[in-house]
Structure 1
Amino acid sequence: MPPKVSRKSELRAHIRSARRAMSAPVKSAADEALVDAVVSVVLRVRPTSVAAYVPMLSEPGGPRLVTALQEVAPRVLLPLLDDDLDLDWAVADGSYTAGRFGLIEPAGPRLGRAAVAAVELMFLPALAVSRSGMRLGQGGGSYDRVLPRVSAPTLVLLYPGEYGAAVPSEPHDHPVCGVLVGNEPDGYEEPHLHWTNGCAIAHHWHSEQSSANDGG
C-alpha cells in the first residue's frame, strides 16, 4: 500500500502546481498590484517597524516587495533561517546573501529571534489561508514558531483562489489576522484586504483598514 498523503500535503501540491502554471505576465501584474496594496496599508498605519520577507520565485510579492517597504517604513526586518528552522531577524539594508533552501537573506547583523516582537506590522508568506485565519505554510513550521512572539497585526499575501479554502490545522498551528489577495487576471478590482477570524485587532486599526471585505 502506498503511504497515505495528508490533506495538507495535497493542498500544498495543488497550490504549488497552480503557482508554477501562472504565466510570467500574469504573475508580474499580480505582484505589482499586491505591492501597491502593501504600500497603501503601510501608509495608512504608519508603523515605525515592519517585518516582511524576500519572496522566492513562486511567492506573492515579487522582487519589488522589500524595496517598496523600505521606501515607506522606517525599519524593515527580514528573516534568516536557523538550523532548527526557527527564524532570526536582520534589518533590510539592501545587502543580501544566499541562505538555505534557496532563500535570499539579509546580510546585516543578526538581531535575535525576539527582535520580531517589537514590530508594529508583519507581512508573511503562505500557500493558503482559511477564513478562520489558519495558515498553510511550506511545511517547515518556521512561522508557527515565530507567530507566538508577534503581537502586531499579521497579514499574508496570496494569489486569487488561495484564500478561503479549508486549511487543516494542528495544535502547533497559529492563525493570522488577515490576507491581501491579488486581483484576478484582467480583473478590474484592486487587491483586497480580508480580515480573518484568527486574531483580535485593535478597534481603531481594524476600523481604518476595513474598507475591503471582512473575513467573517
Structure 2
Amino acid sequence: MAKAQARDDLLTRRRAMSAAERAEAADAIALHVLATPIVARARRVACYLSMQSEPGTGPLIAALHDRGVDVLVPLSLPDHTLDWVSFDPKAPTTTTELGIPEPGGERLGTDALGSCDVVIVPALAVDHAGHRLGRGAGYYDRALAGAHTVSCALLFSHELMAEVPHEPHDVRVQMVVTPGGLFRVP
C-alpha cells in the first residue's frame, strides 16, 4: 500500500512538470552521467528510452552514441523480463501498450547486461541506501538480479529521498544522477 501511494504521488508531481523543466533536467543529467568516470571509459552502456514524464534520456543516449559507445536499450517481453537491442538512432521505434518506446533491431538476449559497463535504470524514487522504487512490474529487478555491473538511476532532484518503501526482492542501485549531480550509495 505504501508503495502504491508513493508511486501515485511521484507520478502526479512528474506530470505537473513543464516540458521546459523536463528538457532542462535531461540536459543536466546527461552532463553529470557523461562526466562519471565509469561512463567516461565505458564501451557499452544499457539505457532505457524515456517516457514523456521520466527524466529524459535522449541527450544522454545521443552523446554516448556520438562517443562511439554501444548503447543497449530494453525490450519488454511477455514474461516480464527484458531483452536488449543495440540502439540505432535511425531504426524505427514503436510504443508498447504500456507506453514504453522500443526500437527494432537484433535481439541480444536477456543476459546482455553482463556485457555492459554500466546500466542506466528508470526509477520513480531512490533512497540513500539505494532502494529503488519502480513502477511495480519488476522488469528491472529481474534484469538486475543476475547482473554484476554498476546500476545508476536517473531522477528529478526531489525523487532522491531519505527512505522509500521497499521489499527484500527489490534490487538496489549503486548510483543516482539528478539535475543537481551524482549521488553514490554508500
Does 1:181 find its partner at 2:178?
A: yes
Q: What's 1:80 paired with? A: 75
2:18 to 3, 13, 23: 23
Partner of 1:133 in structure 2? 130
Aligned to 1:194: 183
CA drift of 1:153 comes to 1.2
Closer, same or farther: CA 118–140 of 1 in aligned 2, 3 Å: same
Kindly state the Cα deviation for residue 74 of structure 1 after the two structures are TM-superposed: 2.3
Q: C-alpha deviations, 1:153-180, integer Å up to 9, x for none?
A: 1111100110023212212111000100
Query: Secondary structure of the equivalent of 2:58?
Result: coil
Find out whether 1:56 has 2:75 as its counterpart: no
Q: Distance in 2 between matches of 1:26 and 1:180?
A: 16
Q: Is the 8 A contact 1:43 1:72 kept in 2?
A: no
What are the ranges of 5 or more consecutive residues in structure 2 without an aligned counterpart? none
8 A Cα contact 1:49 1:121, kept in partner: yes
How many angstroms does 1:42 deviate by?
6.0
Query: TM-score under structure 2 normalisation?
Result: 0.92
Contact 1:46 1:73 (8 Å CA) reproduced: no
Kindly indicate whether the alpha-carbon contact (under 8 Å) linking 2:71 and 2:87 is maintained by their aligned counterparts in 1. yes
Aligned to 2:35: 40
Q: Write the mapping of 1:99-178 to structure 2, written as runs, cut at 5 A.
A: 99-178=96-175
Inter-partner Cα distance in structure 1 for 2:149 and 2:114: 8
Superposed displacement of residue 66, structure 1: 2.0
User: Distance between the aligned counterparts of 1:126 and 1:76, measured in 2?
Assistant: 19
Structure 2 match to 1:11: 6
Contact 2:50 2:57 in 1 (8 A): yes
Match of 1:186 in 2: none
CA contact (8 A) 2:174 2:185 kept: yes
Check the 8 A contact 2:94/2:101 in 1, yes or no. Answer: yes
- SS at structure 1 position matched to 2:63: helix
3-state SS of paired residue (2:21): helix
More strand by share: 2
Summarize the Cα distance change of 1:19–1:44 in structure 2 as closer, same or farther, 3 Å threshold: closer
1:39, distance to aligned residue in structure 2 (A): 2.0
Q: Secondary structure at the match of 1:19?
A: helix
Deviations 1:181-215 (A, max 9, x none): 11xxxxxxxx3110113xxxxxxxxxxxxxxxxxx
Task: Tell me how far 1:106 sits from its aligned partner.
Answer: 1.9
Q: What is the distance in 1 between the residues matched to 2:72 and 2:50?
A: 14
1:65 aligns with 2:54: no
Amino acid corresponding to residue 160 of structure 2 in structure 1: Y
Aligned CA RMSD, in angstroms, stands at 1.6
Answer whether contact 1:156 1:178 (CA < 8 A) is retained.
Answer: yes
More relative contact order in 1 or in 2 (CA 8 Å, sep 6+)? 2
Between the aligned partners of 1:132 and 1:168, the Cα distance in structure 2 is 11
